[in-house]
């Protein structure tokens, strides 16, 4: 559905996207994941034809975007910062947005009712945009992006800063749309959301580092992870132990990347003088999550 070949874009000296090639298959949810400033927005804006690349091509449904008339791409875009008219109601915002595409008022109203009921927003259709919560604003932005009934939906960090409950609800809607046949390309800084995508593309400093299914990426993680619960210990304590490649920590929980987990466990237990039973409780091997994979990739400059 989407094919990107060698896309490149610089702002002055700053190369934001460097030679990115990527494909999004029909019916797929592809997650574009990367830290702030990685180039996600720039890449998505080029895919949507809103920004002209310095080099490379974008093909939508096999057609070169350069040859497609703007507004006829069969693509919906939900930008990172969606401009709502605060002094218009939900429905008035949708009507305004739909009219930009030249859709007849009747069509907009019918489609809006349908999407607003899907997103549980129908009862708020007469509410002023100024009085919407963060989650509701995102749903309104989504409704606007869907008003042309696109086959492809591109979303730029749609749940950024939204509360966890609303994020979950938003993803339910995305899954519903996908089940109905929509192809989704979505950027996110959240690792739990990366897990929800069929495939993930990791972008770092403008370069595409790796793409794969979440399970594949986790399986490619080359270390064992040990989680250690220990109060009053400095990270350097672990760094001195041979075979521990990296240490990260949250409060009194340490996460260690180890080559040989059993040897490390024995060494830590010995140094802390932990009896075996206590060591078993305090030092556990845990499966890597997407966050572990991406932290590892980012530390290596995104290279596998
Ligand atoms: N209009 C611009 N002028 C100059 N530099 C820009 C411009 N837009 C983006 N950049 C720079 O290009 C790089 C990529 O930015 P981009 O917004 O695409 O990244 P991102 O992954 O979407 O990050 P974020 O989530 O923080 O928006 C960043 O270093 C950013 O500072």
Does one domain contain both 134 and 273? Answer: no
What is the percentage of the chain residues whose pLDDT exceeds 70? 97
Residue 189 lies in a domain: yes
Does one domain contain both 132 and 149? Answer: yes
pLDDT bin (cut points 50, 70, 90) of residue 73 is: low
Does one domain contain both 41 and 190? Answer: yes
Residue numbers of the domain that contains 271? 222-287
Higher pLDDT, 185 or 73: 185
Number of domains in the chain: 2
Which atom of ligand 1 lies at the shortest distance from residue 43's CA? 18
Q: How far is the CA of 298 from the centre of ligand 1 (A)?
A: 17
Q: How many residues does the chain have?
A: 304
pLDDT digits (tens, 9 = 90+) for 145-175: 999 889 999 999 999 888 888 889 899 999 9
Does one domain contain both 117 and 24? Answer: yes
pLDDT at 70: 65
Residue 294 lies in a domain: no
Does one domain contain both 208 and 233? Answer: no
**126 pLDDT higher than 90:** yes
Residue 102 lies in a domain: yes
Task: Give the strand pairing for 75-78 and 152-156.
Answer: parallel
Does one domain contain both 211 and 229? Answer: no
Tell me what the mean pLDDT of segment 125-134 comes to: 93
- Buried/exposed 52-90: b ≥16 CB within 10 Å, e otherwise: ebeebebbbeeeebeebeeeebebbbbbeebebeeeebb
Tell me what the mean pLDDT of segment 13-32 comes to: 96
Does one domain contain both 109 and 18? Answer: yes
Does one domain contain both 153 and 74? Answer: yes
Q: How far is the CA of 242 from the centre of ligand 1 (A)?
A: 40
Residue 302 lies in a domain: no
Residue 35 lies in a domain: yes
What is the percentage of the chain residues whose pLDDT exceeds 90? 58
Does one domain contain both 152 and 254? Answer: no
Does one domain contain both 169 and 256? Answer: no
Number of H helices, E strands in the chain: 11, 14
Residue 269 lies in a domain: yes
CATH code where residue 131 lies: 3.40.50.300
Among candidate residues 180, 176, 81, the one with its CA nearest the CA of residue 120: 176
Higher pLDDT, 203 or 251: 203
Q: What is the full DSSP assignment across 247-292?
A: EEEETTEEEEEES-HHHHHHHHHHHTT--HHHHHHHEEEE---HHH
CATH code where residue 276 lies: 3.30.70
Residue 229 lies in a domain: yes
Question: Among 215, 242, 270, which residue terminates a domain?
Answer: 215
Residues whose beta carbon lies within 6 Å of some atom of ligand 1: 11, 14, 16, 34, 36-42, 157
Does one domain contain both 169 and 250? Answer: no
pLDDT digits (tens, 9 = 90+) for 235-276: 888 888 888 988 888 878 899 999 899 888 888 888 888 887
């Amino acid at each position: 559905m989407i094919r990107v070949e060698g896309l490149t874009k610089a702002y002055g000296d700053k190369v934001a996207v460097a030679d990115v090639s990527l494909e999004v298959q029909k019916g797929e949810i592809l997650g574009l994941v990367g830290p702030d400033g990685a180039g996600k927005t720039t890449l998505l804006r080029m895919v949507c034809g809103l920004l002209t690349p310095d080099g490379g091509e974008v093909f939508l449904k096999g057609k070169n975007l350069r040859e497609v008339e703007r507004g006829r791409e069969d693509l919906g875009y939900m930008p990172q910062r969606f401009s709502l008219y605060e002094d218009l109601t939900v429905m008035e915002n949708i009507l305004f947005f739909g009219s930009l595409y030249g859709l007849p008022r009747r069509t907009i109203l019918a489609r809006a009712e349908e999407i607003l009921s899907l997103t549980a927003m129908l009862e708020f259709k007469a509410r002023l945009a100024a009085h919407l919560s963060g989650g509701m604003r995102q749903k309104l932005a989504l409704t606007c992006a869907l008003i042309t009934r696109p086959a492809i939906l591109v979303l730029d960090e749609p749940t950024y800063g939204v509360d966890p409950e609303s994020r979950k609800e938003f993803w339910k809607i995305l899954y519903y749309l996908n089940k109905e046949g929509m192809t989704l390309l979505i950027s996110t800084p959240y690792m739990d959301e990366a897990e929800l995508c069929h495939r993930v593309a990791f972008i770092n400093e403008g370069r595409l580092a790796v793409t794969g299914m979440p399970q594949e990426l986790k399986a490619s993680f080359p270390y064992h992870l040990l989680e250690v619960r220990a109060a009053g210990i400095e990270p350097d304590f672990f760094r001195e132990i041979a075979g521990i490649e990296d240490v990260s920590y949250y409060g009194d929980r340490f996460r260690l990347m180890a080559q040989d987990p059993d040897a490390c466990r024995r060494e830590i237990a010995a140094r802390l003088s932990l009896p075996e039973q206590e060591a078993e409780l305090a030092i556990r091997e845990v499966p890597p999550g997407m966050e572990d994979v991406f932290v590892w990739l980012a530390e290596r400059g995104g290279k596998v």
